[in-house]
Amino acid sequence: MENTQFRLAARPVGMTKDSDWQVTREAVRELADGEVLVKTQYLSLDPAMRGWMNEGKSYIRPVAIGEVMRAGGLGEVIASKSARFAVGDQVAGGLGVQQYWIGAADDRSAALTKIDTRLAPATTWLNTLGMPGMTAYFGLLEVGQPKAGETVLVSGAAGAVGQTVGQVAKQLGCRVVGIAGGKDKCDFVVNELGFDACIDYKGSDVRAGLKEHCPNGVDVYFDNVGGEILDMVLTRINLKARIVVCGAISQYNNTTPVKGPANYLALLVNRARMEGMVVFDYADRYHVAVAALGKWLQEGKIKSREDVVRGIENFPQALNMLFEGKNFGKLVLQVA
Amino acid sequence: MENTQFRLAARPVGMTKDSDWQVTREAVRELADGEVLVKTQYLSLDPAMRGWMNEGKSYIRPVAIGEVMRAGGLGEVIASKSARFAVGDQVAGGLGVQQYWIGAADDRSAALTKIDTRLAPATTWLNTLGMPGMTAYFGLLEVGQPKAGETVLVSGAAGAVGQTVGQVAKQLGCRVVGIAGGKDKCDFVVNELGFDACIDYKGSDVRAGLKEHCPNGVDVYFDNVGGEILDMVLTRINLKARIVVCGAISQYNNTTPVKGPANYLALLVNRARMEGMVVFDYADRYHVAVAALGKWLQEGKIKSREDVVRGIENFPQALNMLFEGKNFGKLVLQVA
């Protein structure tokens, strides 16, 4: 049995190119005691992956040159020499960009956990019930701390994290405004996800949109994009506003220095704060978020939208879709 | 009796120039019932004054063209038709850049309060026991929230706010590192104020200084300067660090857009926050800070250093000293 793998061949400059990847094919080896073999079904493609490819100190060690690219995924246990997992178990974990994951059942970096595909479809476990959902839930509740009646603004509103941020904020009784690229995404965000409004940053004037749709200012801004939009939002924040720094997708492929928020002194004027979050800090409470989000999903109160690209061979192009805004919903790569 | 006043003649571009001011001399009018006449002794010169001269929404309305420049100060009541103040009372309040203040004893924008010059010398009431001290105390304790053993870094360390931030942090058991301009100021900060170290941003490499003097990283950064130094500090913050955005003196005279902190994504990596503060929010608890700081002053545990310039006619040049880093300690203008 052959395992196709994408390994990091070079540290990308700007957008990743084909030459940044090395495709290897190796035979799947025999299992040792305590190990399991997982056949990858779906991989999660996330903006954060671009950061993992860079050198330098961050919240997680960089992927090494020659190493299989890190990625979260879902798969099926197809062989097991561990009592923890049985053949046929559906699992989520750090499977990497490859067709098969092999390793100790209790490997800490893979952190395999069983998932229940009766509660939600498999791809939802990479979205609302996976890392994006956990990021949205804890980032919004713990860092953003929205109160009913407040205005919550979220960028990347049709994306994996943004869709759940906005829908959870609606459940909390907030006015929710999204920012997304293109009319189709904005229509989806309003009509399907139930946001109060959505500003099309590609087809309209964001500054005017903020004035129109956030007439009482912005109390919580959940930022996935950074850059110019963050700067515009800073001019609209309220007293004691909270800006959740979740990501800055507009800046991840920069070959020039990151654009810092020139209007950051709005934090002073408004006694506001800007705070970073990393989802892993909340790992011991993921089950709380899965329970809450799972219930809302089952009750039809929130929705989960994934954009599935097929074929592991399409991994490089699929990853770049994130940075071109071409995905519509949580981007997932179907491997098997 | 003639009252010399400095009125705003034009909104400055960059550093203020003589032509931005109009000097008027008007007769002091008779008191109406409920009014008092205060003879200005000292005026507080603060970086924030530069912001008050600009148009646009801020935490306080801009000074109008033709209006007497806003300034806090100390003076003596020399005539009174109010039961609240008697002739001879020493008062602090928003006296403006003028020799005499006349108005209702309960005028809200002047907010006159009696001060006790037996507790501390008059100029200390514009420094440690005045707005700079209140800013330092509440900004550090409420926003910075330092814990014993943590590293607290403060820019503008020899300035009005910085000197008290650092000394209070020492009282709390923190490692305290200052940033100041020039060897004299740094020596003063370490030898007189008791900071553990001070980095000379004019005469040494700040990046190297941060590595040397904050070997365990920075837990609290109390920022009075913004700009490049803020960006360098962001590369040295610890997990869960707190950056208190108190000011950005390096940016107040910009004629180009403010330089935003390009390294702000360090907030994400470190789950850190950056939060603005405005001292007026704590007005109902100033008495708490005055009691605490007054006690430390009397016990000799903290010091108050003022830099006194004499003569109201020197107001324009004295104000600019702040932005050239020429003041050594809290800058005060002696009017009478």
A85–chain B nearest CA distance, Å: 34
Q: Which residues of A touch B249 (CB under 8 A)?
A: none
Q: What angle do CA B122, B123, B127 make, to 5 degrees?
A: 125
The amino acid at A56: G
The whole-number pLDDT of residue A257 equals: 78
> Which chain A residue shows the shortest CA-CA distance from B228?
A260
A222–chain B nearest CA distance, Å: 12
B201 pLDDT band, cuts 50/70/90, is very high
The answer to whether the CB atoms of B265 and A258 lie below 8 A apart is yes
B54–chain A nearest CA distance, Å: 14
Q: What angle do CA B174, B251, B200 make, to 5 degrees?
A: 45
The whole-number pLDDT of residue B253 equals: 79
Q: In chain B, pLDDT over 70 holds for what percent of residues? A: 100
CB atoms within 10 A of CB A248: 24
Q: Is the pLDDT of residue B256 over 90?
A: no
B11–chain A nearest CA distance, Å: 20
> Which chain B residue shows the shortest CA-CA distance from A268?
B276
The answer to whether the CB atoms of A265 and B59 lie below 8 A apart is no
Residues facing B39 on adjacent strands:
B76, B100
Q: For A279-288, B146-155, B244-253, which range has the lowest pLDDT when averaged over its residues?
A: B244-253
Token pair recorded at residue A274: 């800007």
Question: Of B28, B44, B222, B61, whose CA–CA distance to B128 is shortest?
Answer: B44
Q: What is the DSSP letter of A4?
A: E
Q: Which of A248, A259, A265 has its CB closest to that of B248? A: A265
Q: Which residues of B touch A261 (CB under 8 A)?
A: 260-261, 264
Question: Of A225, A262, A217, whose CA–CA distance to A242 is shortest?
Answer: A217
Q: For A194-208, B51-65, B288-302, B304-318, which range has the lowest pLDDT when averaged over its residues?
A: B51-65
Quick check: B330 and B126 in contact, CB under 8 A? yes
The answer to whether the CB atoms of A275 and B259 lie below 8 A apart is no
B252 pLDDT band, cuts 50/70/90, is confident
Q: Which residues of A touch B231 (CB under 8 A)?
A: 260
> Which chain B residue shows the shortest CA-CA distance from A236?
B57
State the burial class of residue A113 (Cβ atoms within 10 Å of its Cβ: 0-12, 13-18, 19+): middle
> What confidence tens digit (pLDDT) does each residue in B61-110 have?
999 999 999 999 999 999 999 999 999 999 999 999 999 999 999 999 89
> What confidence tens digit (pLDDT) does each residue in B108-142 have?
989 999 999 888 999 999 999 999 999 999 999 99
The answer to whether the CB atoms of B265 and A226 lie below 8 A apart is yes
The whole-number pLDDT of residue A259 equals: 82
The answer to whether the CB atoms of A274 and B274 lie below 8 A apart is yes
> What confidence tens digit (pLDDT) does each residue in A37-96 have?
999 999 999 999 999 999 988 889 999 999 999 999 999 999 999 999 999 999 999 999
CB atoms within 10 A of CB A320: 16
List domains and CATH numbers for chain A.
Answer: 2-127+305-334 (3.90.180.10), 131-280 (3.40.50.720)
Q: Is the pLDDT of residue B172 over 90?
A: yes
The answer to whether the CB atoms of B261 and A263 lie below 8 A apart is no
The answer to whether the CB atoms of A276 and B258 lie below 8 A apart is no
CB atoms within 10 A of CB A193: 21
The answer to whether the CB atoms of A271 and B277 lie below 8 A apart is yes
Token pair recorded at residue B17: 């120039």
The answer to whether the CB atoms of A271 and B278 lie below 8 A apart is yes
Q: Which of A251, A273, A282 to mutate to test the interface with B (most CBs of B within 10 A)?
A: A273
Interface residue ranges in chain B relative to chain A, Cβ cutoff 8 Å: 57-59, 226, 231, 245-248, 251, 257-278, 281
Region B239-253: mean pLDDT is 91
Q: Which of B59, B259, B268 has its CB closest to that of A260? A: B259
Q: Which of B55, B59, B220, B268 to mutate to test the interface with A (most CBs of A within 10 A)?
A: B268
Q: Is the pLDDT of residue B59 over 90?
A: no
Q: Which residues of A touch B222 (CB under 8 A)?
A: none
What count of CB pairs under 8 Å joins A to B?
109
The whole-number pLDDT of residue B243 equals: 98
Q: Rounded to 5 degrees, what are φ and ψ at B225? A: -120, -30
The answer to whether the CB atoms of B265 and A245 lie below 8 A apart is yes
Question: Of B272, B262, B263, whose CA–CA distance to A275 is shortest?
Answer: B272
Q: Which of A266, A275, A278 has its CB closest to that of B273? A: A275
Q: Which of B57, B271, B276 has its CB closest to that of A268? A: B276
Distances (CA, A) of B27 to B100, B215, B313: 10, 60, 18
B20–chain A nearest CA distance, Å: 24
B60–chain A nearest CA distance, Å: 9
Task: Report ipTM (2 d.p.).
Answer: 0.90
What DSSP string runs through A92-136?
EE---SBSEEEEETT-TTT--EE--TTTS-GGGGGTTTSHHHHHH
Q: Is the pLDDT of residue B302 over 90?
A: yes
Buried b (16+ CB within 10 A) or exposed e, B24-39: eeeebeeeeeebbbbb
- Give the separation between CA B329 and CA B334, rounded to whole angstroms: 15
Residues of chain A with pLDDT under 50: none
Q: Which residues of B touch A231 (CB under 8 A)?
A: 260
- Give the separation between CA A121 and CA B295, rounded to whole angstroms: 65
Question: H/E/C letters for each residue in B273-312?
Answer: EEEECCHHHHHHHHHHHHHHHHHHHHCCCCCCCEEEEECH
A139–chain B nearest CA distance, Å: 11
A132–chain B nearest CA distance, Å: 16
The answer to whether the CB atoms of A276 and B265 lie below 8 A apart is yes
Alpha helices in chain A (DSSP H): 48-52, 131-138, 160-171, 183-191, 206-213, 227-234, 266-269, 286-298, 315-323
Q: Which of B258, B263, B273 has its CB closest to that of A265? A: B258
Region B171-190: mean pLDDT is 97
Q: Which of B236, B265, B282 to mutate to test the interface with A (most CBs of A within 10 A)?
A: B265
Q: Which of A274, A277, A278, A282 to mutate to test the interface with B (most CBs of B within 10 A)?
A: A274
Q: Which residues of A touch B277 (CB under 8 A)?
A: 268, 271
B83–chain A nearest CA distance, Å: 36
- Name the residue with tokens 């099926």: A76
The answer to whether the CB atoms of A265 and B278 lie below 8 A apart is no
A226–chain B nearest CA distance, Å: 9
**Cβ contacts of B215-220, under 8 Å, gap ≥ 24:** B216/B151, B216/B175, B217/B151, B217/B241, B218/B151, B218/B152, B218/B153, B219/B146, B219/B147, B219/B150, B219/B151, B219/B152, B220/B140, B220/B144, B220/B145, B220/B146, B220/B150, B220/B151, B220/B152, B220/B153, B220/B169, B220/B174, B220/B244
- Give the separation between CA A319 and CA A325, rounded to whole angstroms: 11
